[in-house]
Structure 1
Amino acid sequence: MSASALQVARTGLDAQDTRMRVISNNLANVNTTAFKRDRANFATLAYQDMRIAGQQNTSQNNYATGLNLGTGVQIQSTSREESQGTLDTTGNAFDLAVQGEGYFQVLLPTGQFAYTRAGNFSLSAQGEIQTSDGYPVQPAITIPQGSTSVTVGSDGTVSAVPSSGGNAVQIGQITMATFPNAQGLQAIGGNMLQETTASGTAQIGTPGVQGVGTIKQGALETSNVNIVTELVDMIECQRAYEINSKMISSVDDMLKNANQTL
């Protein structure tokens, strides 16, 4: 019994340590553009069935309840909370915020697509709209040399006034990707996500159409991390870790007492 109790407490320490890592990552990214906080999900480990409910006790009686001993806990998964972050007005023409569902699509050097809600874009030397890491937004949009102003509509239309003057001319269309299960996207760092079999295939659409979010120019979506919530979770996690540590100490004292007595 004592050895089993030590094992159960150890799984509790491991699980709370992992949860603290998740909380730590949330707090570290509190100022990361469009970051979505993660939540650790717990699950029980397999049970040892010492006696099954309904099992025959005597020739005429059955046990009304069972005797099931848990073997501990584990982190089952982490869930990304997709709630909307607040919009921070920057005034930069190439800062774009998503209001609602959807992701910007970018092209990685490997030729694969990645998806992000971080719209802090800039221009390449050739005038192409790109991420801060230099990945071009897809479909590719190039701002003509010498354009005096660039406007991005809520529906993703990109217009620019040519250097010769006159009216603004549409030069491109920003589309957005949605997924049947956005929780299934894989985070690869750099504010980027990639499609997986769990997320389903990217569905490319026009902003503001059929449930796709809209775009706000001159603003950025902030992280949805709530510092107060994370601090409360951190204290709760710390207390749970301490209790599991206390359990190990208590079981160790029981074993010492048993050895001295016997």
Structure 2
Amino acid sequence: MRALSIAATGMSAQQTNVEVIANNVANINTTGFKRSRAEFADLLYQTDRPAGTVARDDDTIIPEGNTVGLGVRTVAIRNLSMQGPLASTSNRYDLALNGRGYFQVQGENNEILYTRDGAFNRNSSGQLITLDGNLVIPNITVPTTATNITVNANGQVYALFGTTGTQQLLGQLSIANFANETGLAPLGGNLFQETEASGSPVIGSPGDAGYATIQQGYLEGSNVDPVKEITELITAQRAYEMNSKVISAADDMYNVITKDIR
């Protein structure tokens, strides 16, 4: 019976859906996390008689065909890059992006990676780094003699020196945009990598047209909505149960057939 295999594809699809929802809920407090959504498409159809077939010798055309769908499949896990809420931390090294774009950081193999997590700090040399120790690009070094650090909305980093508060420009942060940011490959650790699907990064300064501004002393929270996730979880659970009932019904029908044959 085709119903068995069709319902099995439905159960597999809903299992994937629940796994995506579980990952969203698990990262509800992850800085800069973007929720994901499973996308599905129907499988090929088995056609016994296509629409438009000539029915009789008088060239009468059949208005509707006889096709049966063979189930569903997962076509993508889409990252939804809507802006997350900004939360004040009062930490001068915490930077939040308000708008489109990604911070650039240096990976373990000196490759450039991308993140929305602006929870930065300094290493022993005074260089600006992520909490996992990745250097921020462009490299910003904060001298130990600096008494205060200021990062404005356009990404310019200033330091104050001495008792008189002499201000000095330390550098300019830049951010990257992508033609298709949902095509970025997630690596874990709040890091993403460029792919052919995402396109090459377009580097710009914060505050430029189409680029985010920087909020010092803030972090961007996850854009996961708990109420929405619970609603979608219930929907996925009910869909899974319905597909399992289809399998049970098809199995009962198959047993009836085999008993009659005996």
Whole-Å separation in 2 of the counterparts to 1:141 and 1:106: 11
CA contact (8 A) 1:144 1:162 kept: no
Residue 73 of structure 2 corresponds to: 74
Segments ≥4 residues shifted beyond 4 Å: none
Whole-Å separation in 1 of the counterparts to 2:121 and 2:164: 23
Q: CA deviation at 1:104?
A: 0.2
Segments of structure 1 that go 5 or more residues without pairing to the other structure are none
Q: State the Cα RMSD in Å.
A: 1.0
Q: CA deviation at 1:166?
A: 3.4
Q: CA deviation at 1:62?
A: 2.2
Matched, 1:234 2:236: no
Matched, 1:224 2:223: yes
CA contact (8 A) 1:106 1:138 kept: yes
Whole-Å separation in 2 of the counterparts to 1:241 and 1:182: 31
Q: CA deviation at 1:164?
A: 6.5
Whole-Å separation in 1 of the counterparts to 2:69 and 2:108: 48
Q: CA deviation at 1:50?
A: 1.1
Residue 121 of structure 1 corresponds to: 120
Q: TM-score, normalised by structure 1?
A: 0.97
Whole-Å separation in 2 of the counterparts to 1:258 and 1:200: 56
Whole-Å separation in 1 of the counterparts to 2:116 and 2:191: 8
Q: How many residues were matched structurally?
A: 260
Q: CA deviation at 1:82?
A: 1.1
Residue 33 of structure 1 corresponds to: 31
Residue 12 of structure 2 corresponds to: 14
Q: CA deviation at 1:261?
A: 2.1
Residue 254 of structure 1 corresponds to: 253
CA deviations 1:200-253 (Å, max 9, x no partner) are 110110100121110000000000000010001001000000000000000011
CA deviations 1:89-117 (Å, max 9, x no partner) are 00000000000111000010212111111
CA deviations 1:120-146 (Å, max 9, x no partner) are 011111100001110000010000122
Task: Tell me the amino acid that sits aligned with residue 230 of structure 1.
Answer: E
Task: Tell me the amino acid that sits aligned with residue 79 of structure 2.
Answer: R
Any idea what SS the aligned residue of 1:168 has?
Answer: strand
Matched, 1:47 2:48: no
Segments of structure 2 that go 5 or more residues without pairing to the other structure are none
Q: CA deviation at 1:156?
A: 0.2
Residue 168 of structure 2 corresponds to: 169
Q: CA deviation at 1:119?
A: 0.3
